[in-house]
Chains A and B, each alone.
Chain A
Amino acid sequence: MIDVTIVVNGETRRASVPPETTLLKLLRENFALTGAKLGCDVGDCGACTVIVDGMAVNSCLMLAGQVNGRNVTTIEGLATRDRLHPIQKAFEDTGALQCGFCGPGAIMATKALFDENSDPNVKDIRDALSGSLCRCTGYTKMIEAVQEAARVLRSESRNSSHTRELKVTAP
């Protein structure tokens, strides 16, 4: 068994797991975070995408030991109790999800894109989503959702920079 300590969605979590445990399994079975999905289990479909130290990765392709001491963000880390994250909201409003199985991965891949590039063009978006396979939507609605989310986030960041001193942020 190996001991791992990781920060998941801002919270320090510990587990003792067999060395062959993947990050995906650690999240789902030890930490009960079932947002990241087990799809292909070989790094093709992207349903298991989470963000590790700022980078989108396939959590099925990392061992728990590799993430020891690192920062992980999963889909559960995006929404607050009373508000969806703007990316989630845009996916919902646009109808970018049908069965929804690929959603958590596609949304985390989008989050990682926005962390690098707040104003992506369609080529950037297609590139960022190329590792998130969706068998329902045909991707058109997803790309629209990402564009919509980018608009919302940019306008929010403009507003917040004007009113930062007035705003009290929730913990």
Chain B
Amino acid sequence: MKAFGYVAAKDVGHAVALLGEYGARAKLLAGGTDLLVELKFAAHGPEIIIDISRVDELKDISISDEGLRIGALVTHTEIIRSPIIGNLFPALADAAHSIGAAQTRNLGTLGGNLITCVPSMDSGPTLMALDAQVTSASRSGLSQVPLADLFVAPRKTSLQSDELLTGIIIPKANFAKPAAFQKFGLRKGQALALVNAAAAFWIDQDKDSFVQPRIALGAVAPTVIRAPRAEAFLEGKAITDEVMAEAGRIAATEAKPISDFRASADYRRDLVAVLTKRALQSAYARASNKVRESVP
């Protein structure tokens, strides 16, 4: 690695002050699983590394009036093991478990995964399907935007160079909304997603129909995307395998995948149809099990 300076931030205020001072000349170090790889291949190091890995106030998983907050420095392993997340959003734990291997999940953080802004990230789709917001801090104060607005282009977020992502919030209105995550990679372990997909929806118990369905897709567009036409198709429809399969076919027409050495665009479109259907089926099965468990 090329030489750089190093400073460990004590808290968010300290990190924000440092970012304000150095801006684009600094890089933030959270889990380091992506950053260190980037630095090892970089022709020039940053002027300074601001190590935020010990900023404890960004490591909380907590419930407030607004919703579930997950701090930016919560690791994938902590997401997998969190009883709150396991209870409210098991799909988030599934997505976290599909990332890398134990060694990388123990270091890698939610915030770090989101700000890489790679289209194949596994944290994005489920959070987007659950209408997550992202919070950030800078010298000018705090701000909050929908997660979808964070993703601008491959490896480019809407964050300014003096802005620190502090966490995500899943709104209270979506607590325990049935959701599921699906991923297809070339191996079971340590694989990047050829395609990943998440689905979330409420169920009208009388009509057994879709309410507020959300579908989010990864690795098939410049950023993680929603599939609005498939969502509109599902709204109010009775929940059947045929309807879920049709939603998958519609979602496939909304994807804009590329061909690369991992898979062709056509293959990825086919995967969108299959994974969307499976995500819908799996979320529905999860909801049905929950209802069954709650019946005395």
Point out residues on B near A: beta carbons under 8 Å: 1-6, 8, 29, 32-33, 36-37, 39-40, 45, 49, 51, 53, 77, 100-104, 106-107, 188-190
CB distance from A23 to the nearest CB of B (A): 10
29 contacts between A and B (CB under 8 A): A19-B4, A20-B4, A20-B39, A20-B45, A42-B37, A43-B103, A46-B101, A46-B103, A49-B103, A55-B106, A56-B106, A57-B103, A58-B103, A58-B104, A58-B107, A60-B36, A61-B32, A62-B107, A63-B32, A63-B49, A63-B51, A66-B29, A66-B32, A113-B102, A127-B189, A130-B102, A131-B102, A131-B103, A131-B104
CB distance from A135 to the nearest CB of B (A): 14
Given contacts A18-B3, A19-B4, A20-B4, contact A112 B33 (CB under 8 A): no
Q: Which of A44, A61, A128 contacts B107 (CB 8 A)?
A: A61
| Inter-subunit contact B190/A130 (CB<8 Å) | yes
Bound CA span A128–B104, Å: 11
Bound CA span A61–B39, Å: 10
CB distance from A89 to the nearest CB of B (A): 23
| Inter-subunit contact A43/B104 (CB<8 Å) | yes
| Inter-subunit contact B107/A2 (CB<8 Å) | no
**A109 near B: Cβ within 8 Å?**
yes
| Inter-subunit contact B1/A131 (CB<8 Å) | no
Q: Which of A19, A57, A62 contacts B6 (CB 8 A)?
A: A19
Q: What residues of A have a CB within 8 angstroms of the CB of B8 in the complex?
A: 65, 68
Bound CA span A157–B107, Å: 30
**A148 near B: Cβ within 8 Å?**
no
| Inter-subunit contact B102/A109 (CB<8 Å) | yes
Bound CA span A63–B50, Å: 12
**A22 near B: Cβ within 8 Å?**
yes
Bound CA span A34–B1, Å: 20
B6: nearest chain-A partner, CB-CB: A19
CB distance from A24 to the nearest CB of B (A): 11
CB distance from A100 to the nearest CB of B (A): 19
Most buried by A among B36, B102, B188: B102
CB distance from B217 to the nearest CB of A (A): 25
